Amino acid sequence: MNEGAGVSEAAANIGVVGLAVMGANLSRNLASREGNTVAVFNRSPQRTEALVAAHPEAQFVPAFTYEEFAASLQKPRTAVIMVQAGAATDATIDALVDVFEPGDIIVDGGNAYFPDTIRRERAVRATGINFVGAGISGGEEGALNGPSIMPGGSDEAWQTLGPILRSIAAVAEGEPCVTHVGHDGAGHFVKMVHNGIEYADMQLIAEAYDLIRRGTGKSPAEIADIFAEWNDGELESYLIEITAEVLRQNDAATGKPLVDVILDQAGAKGTGAWTVQTALALGVPVSGIAEATFARSLSSHPEQRAAASSLPGPSEQPAVADEAAFIEDVRQALYASKIVAYSQGFDEIRAGAAEYGWTIDLGAISRIWRAGCIIRAQFLNRIADAYAAESDLALLMSAPYFAEALAKSQEAWRRVVVHATGAGIPAPAFSSSLAYYDGLRAERLPAALVQGQRDFFGAHTYRRTDRPGSFHTLWSGDRSEISA
């Protein structure tokens, strides 16, 4: 099949390199849109041959060398890389740079860490070729039917790329789920935070399930009904919907609920950790995302869990007197904690934009997450409304809609955290979100004492509430205060 596959004229307006599940589906999605002719290339030719044979309707233009691939593309050439993140991406970029020309566009649609994207963009730009790091969310299904796309890169690249990406993106309320996020690594940064929020959302849902199961003794199938009902209200989202599906599933081999035979050790591919590491470096408290990431780590240490299994829990279990009221409390606690997780995530994007010099429209980000991605939810419309009313909102959870929702649910939230603590049920994301809420709204924080301690052992100085300047107490002297 390689024979004769050489392309004598530039027939394609877009190309895809890397034809594993994501690349193959994205190629098919591109080919299905009016006006697109798609060139396809994969390091191992078998994948290219298999894709072209399986989908004659797509009329792919196959290429078997990078030279053929470049020759098959109209100028400016535009190619989307969908290969393994890391070294494979670097190798593919180098190969494309060798055969592309100034003005052409290389898009990395993989899950790159944003500092890598910043580095790659700088290196590729020096050759005159445009480089766009684009976060693509929605997994295999999204790639095929319409993902949420978060492209970075230059304005020039966006001119060419925008219409193509708009044609393949998911659509929410008539709007394609793609926006030019900002320059260089902005797209992959936003995709990273998207994944961090996804971690928090999943952990919060898991805690809600655990609290209801242990508090009421309901079966997974019964709890599936509760989640299905919640999905008709303000919690409506893809993750709530699939939670009901997972809880309803029985294991064919044992007849037990599938959730009871799945090993309770959660995996991670690292985007949650990146979100938390980046937030730590930026000084942004993303406690919900961090707790969710740590909860996965905690679950995956069987030796420590075995060692801790004999440690005592509460001697008495708090009773759940009114099941319906308890379940409603858990729903409200979930909604409140979710508001905190999103508020923290948007805060990280705001801080990242300030640090890296990106102009990011937070309202546009919430709108492109409404379809095609894993955290798609009704709720994102409320976030879009909040940023439409005040684009430089300092704190999402203080916007009127969210402030009101938190005011309505905070008592229930506290009851749930008290119940969890009393019953010895771990609810780290629920409780840390509540602590964050209380921390931010506190008039005075014990940070004053921390400053005193820092000054005592390290002469780090402190500021006073009643006059400007920095001060130090002569702790090992006469304990008088001096200006520092």
Ligand X SMILES: NC(=O)c1ccc[n+]([C@@H]2O[C@H](COP(=O)([O-])OP(=O)(O)OC[C@H]3O[C@@H](n4cnc5c(N)ncnc54)[C@H](OP(=O)(O)O)[C@@H]3O)[C@@H](O)[C@H]2O)c1
Residue nearest to ligand X (CB): 110
By DSSP bridging, strand 470-473 and strand 462-463 are antiparallel
Q: Which of 13, 36, 42, 343 lies at the binding interface for ligand X (CB under 6 A)?
A: 42
Among 23, 151, 176, 196, binds ligand X (CB under 6 A): 23
Could you list the active site residues?
191, 198
Candidates 41-49, 154-162, 209-217, 423-431; binding stretch for ligand X (CB under 6 A): 41-49
What string marks each residue from 137 to 166 as x (binds ligand X by CB under 6 A) or -? --xx--------------------------
Tokens read off for 194: 């998207």
Shortest CA distance to 16 belongs to which of 164, 186, 175, 122? 164
CB 338 within 8 A of CB 204: yes
Which 359-398 positions form the footprint of ligand X (CB under 6 A)?
none
Q: Which two tokens stand for residue 305?
A: 């869990």
CA distance 104 to 124: 11
Q: Which residue number, 190 or 434, has a Cβ lying nearer to ligand X? A: 190
* Residue 22 touches ligand X, criterion: CB under 6 A: yes
Measured from the CB atom, the residue of 77 and 191 that comes closer to ligand X is 191
Q: At what angle do helices 400-423 and 428-441 cross, to 10 degrees?
A: 130
> According to CB under 6 A, which one of 1, 2, 44, 404 is a site residue for ligand X?
44
Q: Which is nearer to ligand X, 140 or 229 (CB)?
A: 140
At closest approach, how far in Å is the CB of 117 from ligand X?
A: 12
Contacts to ligand X from residues 65-124, by CB under 6 A: 82-85, 88, 91-92, 110-111
Provide, rounded to whole angstroms, the least separation between the CB of residue 39 and ligand X: 15
Minimum distance of ligand X from residue 31's CB (angstroms) = 17
User: In sequence order, what DSSP letters do the residues of 30-57 get, joined into one string?
Assistant: HHTSTT--EEEE-SSHHHHHHHHHH-GG
Q: How many of the chain's residues bind ligand X (CB under 6 A)?
A: 22
**Smallest separation (angstroms) from ligand X to the CB of 266:** 17
The site string for ligand X over 45-64 (x = CB under 6 A, - otherwise) reads --x-----------------
What sign for the dihedral angle of Cα 206, 210, 216, 222?
Answer: positive
| Rounded Cα–Cα distance for residues 340 and 362 (Å) | 16
Find out whether 211 and 419 touch, Cβ atoms under 8 Å: yes
73 forms beta bridges with 12
Q: Is 300 exposed, middle or buried (0-12, 13-18, 19+ CB in 10 A)?
A: middle
Distance CA 103, CA 131 (A): 10
- Minimum CB separation of residue 139 from ligand X in Å reads 4
Residues of this chain, 394-453, that bind ligand X according to CB under 6 A: none
> Residue 144's Cα: distance from chain center in Å?
20
Nearer to ligand X, 18 or 257 (CB): 18
Q: Which is nearer to ligand X, 149 or 223 (CB)?
A: 149
> Cβ closer to ligand X: 29 or 42?
42
Q: How far is the CB of 150 from ligand X (least distance, A)?
A: 11
Instruction: Say how many Å lie between the first and final Cα of the chain, rounded.
Output: 77
Q: Which is nearer to ligand X, 47 or 472 (CB)?
A: 47
* Shortest separation between residue 111's beta carbon and ligand X, angstroms: 3
Q: What phi-psi label fits residue 69: left (phi over 0), alpha (psi between -120 and 50 degrees) or beta?
A: alpha
Show contacts with ligand X in window 183-222 (CB under 6 A).
none
Q: Is 170 in the site for ligand X (CB under 6 A)?
A: no
Distance between CA 135 and CA 373 in Å, rounded? 11
CB of 338 to ligand X, least distance (A): 23
The CA–CA distances, whole Å, from 258 to 220, 221, 224, 264 equal: 9, 10, 12, 12
The phi and psi torsions of 60 (rounded to 5 degrees) equal -65, 155
Nearer to ligand X, 18 or 151 (CB): 18
d(C-alpha 419, C-alpha 431), whole Å: 11
Both tokens of residue 190? 């936003």
> Which of 1, 2, 21, 245 contacts ligand X by CB under 6 A?
21
Q: Tell the residue number behind the tokens 């590729």, with chain if given.
A: 124
136 binds ligand X (CB under 6 A): yes
| Sites of contact with ligand X (CB under 6 A) | 18-23, 42-44, 47, 82-85, 88, 91-92, 110-111, 136, 139-140
